[in-house]
């Protein structure tokens, strides 16, 4: 009978340890559903090795991709939004900001930094969609303006990475004024003879598209990025017609002359560095 009945219980493994693999070890592409190792995904600049789907990433990932050895100095990292309008929707604006800071670890929807890229000093501003939809408020405008001032003072190129739903409604007119502020600063950057490269990622819409995102000496985008002002549903209802296939995609915008080129994220650093060397 001992052939069929185990005398000893054997090795006992707690239920919580009965996992086939550690959490986060594998990444499944939301586009093609193929699975790859997360390290492979990261080494491929967070793009799918099977279908080239570009995962939405934030400033941490972009800085690690672009700055040499991830070495950079952040600018104005403690700046936070005030509440000039005492705005309340489902919660008070200061409470929403504090909750988002606690959830994301970010102070606002943009981070600015300077450091070496292919041994050339560059100033970069990168938006984070996880912070209230990457919305542009007074802090976003001020940090971008100060980053441009730094680029002018230190004679560095300026790279803007946009990913935003547009102006921040909680700041109303204060938010809209950032369009004028950033545009004026970019005009000074141009007068100083310094290059401005604008990278549009998925999505870039609203007041951000209508201001600094489309004012680059070179406007470039990632594949498949949604780029527009109003959303397709609003446009469809306004004109009363169906929209063409691929409307507001980076490829559509490029075809109609509003972009200079589309660049895969894994080639971004090399392409930007090469571009800066050509115009130096």
Instruction: Please indicate if the annotation marks 274 as binding a ligand.
Output: no
- The side-by-side arrangement of strands in the sheet containing 73-75 is 73-75, 110-117, 120-127, 158-164, 196-204, 218-221, 261-262
Instruction: Please indicate if the annotation marks 32 as binding a ligand.
Output: yes
The span from the CA of 130 to the CA of 112, in Å, is 16
The span from the CA of 235 to the CA of 251, in Å, is 19
Instruction: Please indicate if the annotation marks 126 as binding a ligand.
Output: no
Q: Can you say which residues are annotated as belonging to the binding site?
A: 29, 32, 48, 51
Q: Can you say which residues are annotated as belonging to the binding site for Zn(2+)?
A: 29, 32, 48, 51
């Amino acid at each position: 009978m001992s052939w069929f009945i185990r005398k000893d219980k054997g090795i006992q493994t707690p239920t919580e340890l009965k996992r086939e693999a550690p959490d986060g070890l594998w990444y499944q592409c939301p586009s093609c559903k193929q699975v790859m190792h997360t390290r492979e995904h990261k080494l491929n600049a967070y793009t799918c090795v099977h279908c080239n789907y570009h995962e939405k990433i934030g400033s941490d990932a972009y800085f690690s991709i672009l700055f040499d050895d991830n070495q950079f100095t952040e600018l104005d990292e403690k700046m936070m939004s005030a509440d000039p309008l005492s705005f309340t929707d489902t919660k008070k604006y200061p409470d929403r900001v504090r909750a988002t800071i606690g959830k994301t670890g970010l102070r606002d929807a943009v981070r600015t930094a300077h450091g070496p890229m292919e041994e050339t000093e560059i100033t970069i501003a990168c938006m984070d969609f996880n912070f209230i939809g990457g919305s542009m408020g007074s802090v976003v405008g001020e940090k971008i303006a100060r980053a441009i001032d730094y680029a002018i003072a230190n004679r560095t190129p300026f790279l803007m990475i946009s990913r935003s739903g547009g102006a921040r409604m909680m700041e109303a007119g204060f938010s809209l004024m950032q369009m004028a502020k950033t545009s004026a600063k970019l005009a000074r950057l141009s007068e100083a003879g310094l290059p401005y490269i604008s990278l549009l990622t998925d999505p870039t819409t609203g007041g951000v598209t209508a201001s600094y995102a489309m004012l680059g000496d070179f406007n470039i985008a990632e594949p498949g990025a949604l780029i527009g002002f109003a959303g397709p549903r609003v446009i469809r209802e306004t004109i009363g017609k169906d929209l063409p296939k691929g409307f507001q995609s980076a490829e559509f915008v490029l075809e109609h002359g509003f972009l200079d080129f589309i660049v895969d994220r894994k080639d971004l650093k090399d392409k930007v560095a090469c571009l800066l060397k050509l115009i130096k």
